[in-house]
Amino acid sequence: MKIIDRIRAAINAAIETLTRRYNSSADLAEKQAIAEAIDDLIGEISVLNQAALLDAANRDASATEVLERAVAAAKLGPFDGYLAAMESHLNQLNRLSGTAHAGESLESAAVPASRARSSGRAGAGASASTRAALVTNTSTKYEDLQEEYQGCFERCETRAEFSDNVAYYVKRLKLGKLNYQLAESETGVPWVFVGLIHAMECGFNFSGHLHNGDRLTDRTVKVPKGCPKKGEPPFTWIQSAQDALRMKKLDEVTDWSVPHMLYLLEAYNGFGYRRRGLPSPYLWSFSNIYDKGKFVADGEFDPNAVSKQCGAGLMLKAMLAER
């Protein structure tokens, strides 16, 4: 079954649960909230019928938000399985969100410098609009890059065709805030930064390792492999998140300024783009800073491939603009 069909089926299942609750509830306020939720979900399905993959992920996020509101409106009486069913629907939608992003996620850019140099002239084949924004400093030292990061952040803008997609990413970040704040309380890493990593590595799926998106039912399979080293699977999301953040020594960071966050985000994915003189899509995809070029497999760079995942730097700017 295609991912869009699976999202549609999950929303329909939630509508059935809400309908049963509506018929059994005696509380007028809750019935009103449920009726509104059902109408909203039907609307999401009607849009979903025409959706491309990233638009489907947006509909998934909207449906999750609707169900959260319905749960908040619930009048608790004798346990009838309603909240358990709603939790199941929410978990399913979260898993589908991660699946929708899995095919679009960016491969690691942690490529040896020797391999990067052998790929030819930096930026070859890039469009004129991208050449103006090419990274020229191939250093990987923060003190050499601080001004560049700040400058890119200030001039980056969302490409018009991706405005809805960026709004979706910001919505998903906000939905996960409580979990990200829990990771912050354990490690000191700001919740927004945790959320950005979660978006890039897991597609917001709380069933995946923060290290690389692999399933929490076992240790990681992709690089970094075999994490967490301690404990036994299955792991909770917070166990994995703490391990990933501490493995990168992010719990020791004291500078959480915007330029340093951008540096840490690029480092998390790797400096393979920078060694080619190119802006990293991990930071700038969907913005005027990035045009094309990405790693499509471990160590394999395609100069004409285009990232379909919103960059973390652009997400960060959109988040800060709403504060």
What's the pLDDT tens digit per position in 135-169? 668 899 999 999 999 999 999 999 999 998 898 88
Residue 301: strand pairing partners: 295
Whole-number pLDDT of residue 308: 87
**CA-CA-CA-CA torsion sign (184, 189, 191, 194):** negative
User: pLDDT by residue for the chain (323 residues), tens digit each?
Assistant: 588 889 999 999 999 999 999 999 889 999 999 999 999 999 888 888 766 776 777 788 788 889 988 988 887 665 568 888 998 898 888 778 767 765 567 888 886 545 444 343 344 444 434 434 456 688 999 999 999 999 999 999 999 999 988 988 898 898 889 999 999 999 999 999 999 999 999 888 888 899 998 999 999 998 899 999 999 999 999 999 999 999 999 999 999 999 999 999 999 999 999 999 899 999 999 999 999 999 988 778 999 999 988 999 999 999 999 87
User: Left if phi > 0, otherwise alpha if psi is -120 to 50, otherwise beta: which for 231?
Assistant: left
Q: From CA 299, how far away is CA 24, in angstroms rounded?
A: 57
Whole-number pLDDT of residue 128: 38
Whole-number pLDDT of residue 111: 61
Residue 215: strand pairing partners: 208
Query: CA-CA-CA-CA torsion for 119, 120, 126, 129, nearest 10 degrees?
Result: 120
The burial of 155, by beta-carbon neighbours within 10 Å (0-12 exposed, 13-18 middle, 19 or more buried), is given as: exposed
Q: Tokens 């020594």, residue? A: 249
Q: From CA 245, how far away is CA 249, in angstroms rounded?
A: 6
Q: From CA 246, how far away is CA 236, in angstroms rounded?
A: 16
- State the DSSP H helix or E strand holding residue 29, giving kind and residue range, or none if neither: helix 28-48
pLDDT in tens, 250-306: 999 999 999 999 999 999 999 999 999 899 999 999 999 999 999 988 778 999 999
Q: Which amino acid is present at 262?
A: L
Q: From CA 226, how far away is CA 223, in angstroms rounded?
A: 8
Q: Convert 168-188 to b/e letters by CB count within 10 Å (16 or more is b).
A: bbbebbebbeebbebbbeebe
Confirm if 86 and 253 have CB atoms less than 8 A apart.
Answer: no
Query: CA-CA-CA-CA torsion for 193, 71, 35, 88, nearest 10 degrees?
Result: 80
CA dist 307 to 58, 110, 159, Å?
17, 17, 13
Q: From CA 56, how far away is CA 93, in angstroms rounded?
A: 11
Tokens for 132? 């103006």
Q: Pairing state of beta strands 294-297 and 300-302? A: antiparallel
User: Left if phi > 0, otherwise alpha if psi is -120 to 50, otherwise beta: which for 141?
Assistant: beta
In the chain, the domains with their CATH numbers are 3-102 (1.20.1270), 113-321 (no CATH)
